Amino acid sequence: MHEFEGCRLKAYLCPANVWTIGWGHAATSGIGPIPKRGMEITQAKADQIFEDDLAIFGKKILPLFKNKPSPNVYGACLSLAFNIGTGAFKKSTCLRRLNAGDIEGAAEALQWFNKAGGKTMRGLVRRRTAEAELMLSGQVPKALGQEQRLTPDGEKTAMKSTTLAATGVTAISGATGVATAVGQLEGNSQLLVIGFAALAVLALAWIARERIKKLAQGV
């Protein structure tokens, strides 16, 4: 999620004209310190607020699922809810379709949240795409399952990239290790393990996709 939120230690107005600080901590969240003009925090404080936010958002959205979500579904929904707010997530078609057992439809509906201030935002389109891919994936980000293709120089294929190989291994480890870790924890710690592990896969999927684009361009 860090890749999508970015971190700013001085309060700023986001594209939706809401005061925000740290890792996307918005004034409209109604939790923790409320960002306002002129507010500044340290990096350590920003990181702590982010962890606290995830724990709170995780506890708020978990009861909304009719059935216990998989780590990937939970991670994608946590990222979405953190971005649009738990109220909007609760009313979303994405959640309604998930609770009806329609994961593909939920992944489609998730991607509708790509606007800010009435305008489609490129960053939100990329974020929603990554979240949808995470929701639909079993273990490996979709980008890692693409066929090998030569770049313009005819020498390097996407799947031969050491960066992508490392990303794939890390993603698989993060996703498959969740069940074991969660089984040994309780309460808030359990929520954090699920959320952070699934969100790590989300971030890795985004990194992999960006790397593939660069390789295709011969970079």
Q: Are 203 and 3 in contact (CB under 8 A)?
A: yes
Give which of 123, 127, 87 is closest to 111, Cα–Cα.
127
Helices (H), 91-161: 93-99, 103-110, 122-136
For the record, the structure tokens of 173 come out as: 């480890």
Beta-sheet strand order (sheet of 25-26): 8-13, 19-22, 25-26
How far, in Å, CA of 24 to CA of 83, rounded?
8
Q: Residues 3, 5, 51, 108: which is the catalytic one? A: 5
For the record, the structure tokens of 3 come out as: 């890749």
How far, in Å, CA of 45 to CA of 12, rounded?
16
Catalytic residue status for 5: yes
Element (H, E) at 26: strand 25-26
Using CA atoms, how far residue 138 sits from 80, 135, 172, in Å, is 19, 8, 9
- Active-site residues, by number, are 5
